[in-house]
Amino acid sequence: MANCPSCGRKLHLKDWRPVCPGCGANLNYFDSNKNLLEESEKAEIEHARFQPKVDRAKAAYAGSKLAILRIVFSLLPVGALFLPLCTMNGEKMNVLAVYGKINEAGIDKVLLGAFSSPLKLSASLLLLSAVLIIVSLVLIIMSLGKHGKIRVIITYLLIPLLSAGSIAAFMFSGSGNTAGVGAYLYTALLLFLFAWNIILLKKGIPVKHTACLIGGLPSEEYFGYVEQGMSKSEIRRKMLVALSALEKECEKEETEE
């Protein structure tokens, strides 16, 4: 059993029609405007909370010339991998040749047995550093977030350390094995990339925040009222004033055109 939301009359099984027999209220559409208003406000609130994350992500990638250059500098080390990385048994090898050797031995066996031989350790560290470059490009999205600075420092410092470790392990793998110019240039570019990120952290990247409205009120103003403990009815009265002002502004613009 249920009660009519308008008059409170108890509804029985015989009251199957969508109209209250007591007050005549349409039970299907009762308070529909109120529900639509609440749903609209809920959607605007969610958008206002999510939009700053989008704004920070955009700024992290292209918020300044220095940020754009970071993307370019992140790709430069990849080019160095196609130069001779090492000479092994008299054969000069770049990243394609190294990957071919790893693929022949089995990537899983190389990674799982990384500490069984210097060659496997060197290959594993090189592979991990290359993967982290790709990961770092994704993590840039969160670089202006709460823990963004720590994440940037750890990620971009770890990559050149892995590369340097790969060179050191390879040098100990055999007397006839030597690191090539590509390996040293790769590491040098990674160190430069780390330094560039430190410069970015110190200078900062400006974030252009998108204005969001909740019921006609700027989102900052709305959330401020909520934090002050203002009632929903009081906030909605302010919304009506704001919406009225917006409507007048639109009418003024239309008449000027």
What per-residue confidence (pLDDT) applies to 25? 60
Task: Answer with the residue of higher pLDDT: 62 or 251.
Answer: 62
State pLDDT tens for residues 112-161: 655 567 888 888 899 899 999 999 998 898 888 888 889 999 999 999 99
Task: Answer with the residue of higher pLDDT: 233 or 252.
Answer: 233
Range name among 10-14, 72-76, 86-90 with the lowest pLDDT average: 10-14
| pTM for the whole structure | 0.73
Confidence class for position 243, pLDDT limits 50, 70, 90: confident
3-state secondary structure 154-196: HHHHHHHHHHHHHHHHHHCCCCCCEECHHHHHHHHHHHHHHHH
Determine what percent of the chain is predicted with pLDDT higher than 70: 84
Q: Quote the mean pLDDT of the chain.
A: 84
Confidence class for position 185, pLDDT limits 50, 70, 90: very high
Query: What is the C-alpha separation between 150 and 41, in angstroms, rounded?
Result: 36
What per-residue confidence (pLDDT) applies to 251? 76
Task: Answer with the residue of higher pLDDT: 19 or 246.
Answer: 246
Range name among 81-85, 107-111, 139-143, 162-166 with the lowest pLDDT average: 107-111
- Over residues 162-175, the mean pLDDT reads 87
86 neighbors 99 (Cβ within 8 angstroms): no
State pLDDT tens for residues 31-54: 555 677 788 888 999 999 999 999
What per-residue confidence (pLDDT) applies to 249? 81
Q: Given phi > 0 = left and psi -120 to 50 = alpha, else beta, which region is 256?
A: alpha
What per-residue confidence (pLDDT) applies to 170? 87
Question: What is the residue whose two structure tokens read 């594993």?
Answer: 124
Q: Is the pLDDT of residue 257 over 80?
A: no
